[in-house]
């Protein structure tokens, strides 16, 4: 079980690293001058590759977490309300990941109307989600 926990933590940390950096690329895309075709193409390529890699990392992170939850019963039974809250946070992270994909498509086709300031705020969301997930898993407040 400890190997599974360790791998789960490694994949989750890697997944979040991608979710931290991807929106930063979005900010840079929003700041590209209108005539900078090469810079825009390079940033879009970076964002697409990072989204693909981050998606690949999310699969084992979620699978190992499910294995720990269902296979070993971690967080099941009375007094484990923290696990329900953590699963809600995980669903929010999955939704954020999906929103990154949608936003990337809109930035690529030029239909996004998001300002660099909004994108900077969007960039902070995964920090809050990671903080919530770690606090719930470690402190187990309820």
- Residues annotated as binding site for heme? 8, 86
Binding-site residue set = 8, 86
CA atoms within 13 A on the CB side of 104: 23
**Strand, helix or coil at 125?**
helix
- For the chain, the C-alpha Rg in angstroms (whole number) is 17
6 phi, psi to nearest 5 deg: -60, -45
Nearest C-alpha neighbor of 133 from the set 56, 73, 67, 62: 62
Q: What is the distance, to the nearest Å, from the Cα of residue 19 to the centroid of all Cα atoms in its chain?
A: 4
H helices of 32-80, in order, are: 37-66, 72
């Amino acid at each position: 079980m400890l190997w599974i926990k360790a791998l789960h933590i490694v994949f989750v940390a890697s997944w979040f690293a991608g979710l931290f950096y991807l929106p930063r690329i979005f900010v840079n895309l929003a700041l590209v001058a209108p005539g900078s075709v090469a810079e825009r193409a390079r940033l879009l390529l970076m964002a697409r590759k990072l989204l693909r890699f981050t998606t690949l990392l999310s699969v084992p992170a979620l699978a190992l977490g499910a294995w720990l939850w269902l296979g070993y019963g971690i967080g099941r039974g009375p007094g484990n309300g923290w696990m329900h809250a953590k699963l809600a946070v995980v669903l929010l992270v999955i939704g954020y990941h999906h929103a990154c994909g949608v936003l990337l498509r809109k930035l690529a086709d030029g239909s996004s109307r998001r300002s660099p300031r909004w994108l900077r705020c969007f960039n902070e969301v995964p920090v809050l989600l990671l903080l919530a997930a770690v606090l719930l898993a470690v402190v187990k407040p309820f």
